Amino acid sequence: MKAVRIHAYGDRSVLRYEDAPLPECGDDDVLIRVIAAAVNPVDWKIREGYLKEMLPYKLPLTPGWDVAGIVERVGSKVSGVAVGDRVYSRPDISRQGSYAEYIAVRASEVAAMPRTLGYAAAASLPLAGITAWESLIDKGNLQAGQSVLIHAAAGGVGSLAVQLAKWRGAHVIATASAANVALVQSLGADEVIDYRTMPFAEHVRDVDLVFDTVGGDVQEQSWSVLKAGGTLVSIVAPPDAARAAAAGVQGKFVFIQPSATILRELATLADAGQLRPLIGAEFGLERIAEAHALSESGRTVGKIVLHIGKP
């Protein structure tokens, strides 16, 4: 099969579009024929070797941990998933990924694709959608009537987080650069701050929840906009516990794991028209270096999708 693999950590030149062996389908796995995958910032962070202590891969590695496709084979212990099913997944990040014509995924990590979405839209949901759900709903405990500040609302995670927070009944304040303000409003944000011309910490007060998708200075300045007892959830850097205590708030960190349960929730919302995946760019697998360059630029709008197989 064709795949993109890396044989060493490094810059984009280590990405090789090449022939690779078909993945083995273990007893608990399903083998998926990949129709579409998506690119996430973690892909190039792993490619660079930034996470090699935490995730000690045996190279060569096929990156990519978002997939939508068709089940080609099921392992001997698998039930509930059948050959021919249209499925999507954010598979275990410690295993080989989805920049390939086939991927083996634990059956417990796949869910039926949203009925109303095509493969590209479905592939853009799992990693970013599970992250937004876990951050806002599981860790952030966001309730109707509460207010939330969502940073980088035009990005892959942020664009889904805005929609989830609105569905939850929250008042949504979002940050984006001027070019993306109208887009973020169209996703349902009640207020959008052009963070480049308007320092958000001077304009936001007493929110129940901050969703930090940027880290660094953005996280540091976010403490002051929370109400007493509020919560900051970061997906970029673990919040400093002493800093949180001093501000009288909670700081939490999320590093997501596969979740078929959340995928089923996301599919229900997508099919009800309440969650609209935003695709900002699409590439063929052989153009992976361009896709990584875009992700590394930090200017992605919505998700970057890779078209791999024919439906």
- In angstroms, the CA 100 to CA 72 distance is 14
Residues sharing a CB contact under 8 Å with residue 2, sequence separation 6 or more, in sequence order: 17, 18, 19, 20, 100, 101, 285
Q: Is residue 255 involved in binding ligand NAP (CB under 6 A)?
A: yes
Task: Give the list of residues 6+ apart from residue 268 with CB closer than 8 angstroms, or none.
Answer: none
Q: Measured from the CB atom, is 61 or 78 closer to ligand NAP?
A: 61
Q: How far is the CB of 56 from ligand NAP (least distance, A)?
A: 18
Q: How far is the CB of 97 from ligand NAP (least distance, A)?
A: 15
Q: Which stretch binds ligand NAP (CB under 6 A): 59-67, 113-121, 238-246, 252-260?
A: 252-260
Helix (H) or strand (E) holding 259: none
Under the binding rule (CB under 6 A), the answer on residue 150 touching ligand NAP is no
Q: Which residue is nearest to ligand NAP (CB)?
A: 155
Q: How many residues bind ligand NAP (CB under 6 A)?
A: 30
Task: Tell whether residue 40 is a contact of ligand NAP (CB under 6 A).
Answer: yes
CB of 236 to ligand NAP, least distance (A): 5
Q: Do 144 and 297 touch, CB atoms closer than 8 A? A: no
Task: Considering the complex, state which of residue 74 and residue 235 has its C-beta at the smaller distance from ligand NAP.
Answer: 235
C-alpha distances (whole Å) from 257 to each of 87, 94, 220, 286 are 18, 10, 26, 28
- How many other C-beta atoms lie within 10 A of the C-beta of residue 184? 26
Tokens encoding 226: 């929370």
Min dist. Cβ of residue 161 to ligand NAP (A): 9
Q: Is 256 in the site for ligand NAP (CB under 6 A)?
A: yes
Closest CA to 99 of 55, 137, 67: 67
Position 57 contacts ligand NAP (CB under 6 A): no
Residue 205 has φ and ψ, to the nearest 5°, of -140, 145
Using DSSP bridges, classify how beta strands 250-253 and 226-234 pair: parallel, antiparallel or unpaired. Answer: parallel
Q: Which stretch binds ligand NAP (CB under 6 A): 27-35, 96-104, 139-147, 153-161?
A: 153-161
- How far apart are the two ends of the chain, measured CA to CA in Å? 16
| Residue 238 touches ligand NAP, criterion: CB under 6 A | no
Q: Which residues contact 246 (CB under 8 A, 6 or more apart)?
A: none
Q: Using the rule CB under 6 A, give the single segment among 81-89, 136-144, 155-163, 203-211 that binds ligand NAP.
A: 155-163
- Binding piece for ligand NAP, criterion CB under 6 A, among 116-124, 136-144, 156-164, 263-271: 156-164
Q: How far is the CB of 109 from ligand NAP (least distance, A)?
A: 15
Write out the binding residues for ligand NAP, residues 162-201 only, by CB under 6 A: 175-177, 180, 195
How far apart CA 51 and CA 69 sit, in angstroms, is: 27
* Near ligand NAP by CB under 6 A: residue from 23, 155, 258, 309: 155
Binding footprint of ligand NAP on the chain (CB under 6 A) = 40-42, 128, 131, 151-152, 154-158, 175-177, 180, 195, 213-214, 218, 235-236, 254-256, 295, 298-301
